[in-house]
Amino acid sequence: MEFETTLFGKTKYRMVWKIIELVNIIFLARILSIEEFGLGFFIMTLVFFITSFMKTGYPRHKDKEKEFYNTLSIVSPALGMITTFALLIFSFFVHKDIRLLLRFGSAFIFLRSLTVMPEIFYFGRKRYNKIYHSYTTSQLIMGIISVVMAINGYGHQSILIGYLCFHVFNLLFLWYKFPFKVQPALDKEMMVEMARYLRRNFDSIITASTLSYGVLLISLIYGLKQFSFLYMAMYIGFFTYENLTLFINSIVLKKFFEVRDNIEQYKFNFMRLMEYISLLTVPVNLIFIIIIDKVLGILIGAEWIFASEIFVIVLVAGLIKSIVETTRVILLTEEKYKMINRIRFVEFVTFILFSFILRTYYGLVLSLLIASVVSSILYFVISSLIMKINLVSVSKDYAYILASGILSALFAGLIKELFVINNLISLIVLFFLTIMCFIGITYIFNKSVYKRVIKFIFNLMRQ
């Protein structure tokens, strides 16, 4: 139960932030034209791609922690300033409409470089609440400002100003009452350690960044509309994968390390992890696949319905990765970091190869799905071989979840065809009925799962 409580307690802070961000993005997509939406989030995607390289790891030795942060307090802003200056210079050689976007982007990059150190500090000490409280509050402020500006006709500038506010407030919140007294000074040993970390992880960083942000930047070749469609599809399609599977893997890793020599406890933890993630991801993704046209038409706007096929493809990719890549925790526990990097590289090469072969916008999206399937299979097979756990047998224990999800999705499709779903209330009722259907079917298949969930909730309430 301690394992489950840790899992829930650490996840809730991130989920609140991400839900607020999702609501904000949906409002902006509904208010702005598709092109204006694309312009605003193009520059943010570029910023995310560039700043993903500002990773330096954590100090290896506690006795060197002071030297590490003192050095980082110089290195991180210096890298931010160099990147900012390079982007500003580049902005003089592009069209004037893009020039303003790049200058906003340079400001975002510099502000982001100033938050790297407190984020590394708090993440390193597992103080997730401090970081996600900051993100949540900043996101709420940004949402209000950007939506109000969008309503008043400021177009893509509402996104730019909103994110500028986010970065400024996030910077202030993270540095407010920062417990570590920083005395900027360069330490050669720490600089060498940071350089080694970047060199050692460069392949992993560039492959992960390309698959997360590079795909979107490549889609700009086909136009702003296509970029906007894919941006929203990837945000929704990979929502559970990025915010449940990957994040939960990272926060429960310590528990798996503690019981790695106790194979029975290890298996128990893994089975609970896979069960809870499957219960959350399967119904949501499958139901969205069936009713995505209604979701897009009602929540965002009729023009977005043309992107339904794109959303379906990415939702399928997200569902596969959300469930199967739970096995990544096995590789992390066994400290097979090189193996994870190799799998990411194979996923990256697969995406590039099929993108080149197919050479169309839909081909680009299909390449993302194919690469996701290939990487998921590799995680599944390699994890089975390393831990000598028959994951196929384990997966059979949770086949009822997938079966329940499929039956519930078919039920949603039937309701969609029989009744008129043309407003938010009817959409919410449809989603609620389908979730109730899923709960009912899974209860018939396996009553014990809900006994565990109810017991889990009551234990949380007592704390």
pLDDT of 330: 81
pLDDT tens, residue by residue, 131-174: 888 999 999 999 999 999 999 999 999 999 999 999 999 999 99
Euclidean distance between the first and final Cα of the chain, in Å?
12
pLDDT of 456: 56
pLDDT of 227: 94
pLDDT of 461: 42
Burial class of residue 254 in the structure, from the number of CB atoms within 10 Å of its CB (0-12 exposed, 13-18 middle, 19+ buried): exposed
Closest CA to 197 of 64, 55, 68: 55
The dihedral built from the CA positions of residue 172, 131, 245 and 406, taken in this order, carries a sign that is negative
For residue 105 the two structure tokens come to 């982007």
Instruction: Determine phi and psi for 129, rounding to 5 degrees.
Output: -60, -35
pLDDT of 139: 93
pLDDT of 396: 62
For residue 407 the two structure tokens come to 């039956």
pLDDT of 401: 81
Please tell me the number of Cα atoms within 13 Å of 311 on its side-chain side: 24
Which residue carries 């960044």 as its tokens?
Answer: 209
Closest CA to 315 of 283, 360, 348: 283
pLDDT of 460: 42
Residues of the chain falling short of pLDDT 70: 1-11, 57-62, 389-397, 450-463
What is the rounded CA–CA span in Å between residue 393 and residue 387? 14
pLDDT of 62: 67
pLDDT of 304: 92
What is the rounded CA–CA span in Å between residue 417 and residue 9? 40
pLDDT of 23: 92
The structural domains of the chain, with segments of one domain joined by +, span 1-186, 202-463
pLDDT of 241: 87
CA dist 335 → 383, 385, 386, 436 (Å): 12, 15, 11, 40
pLDDT of 395: 63
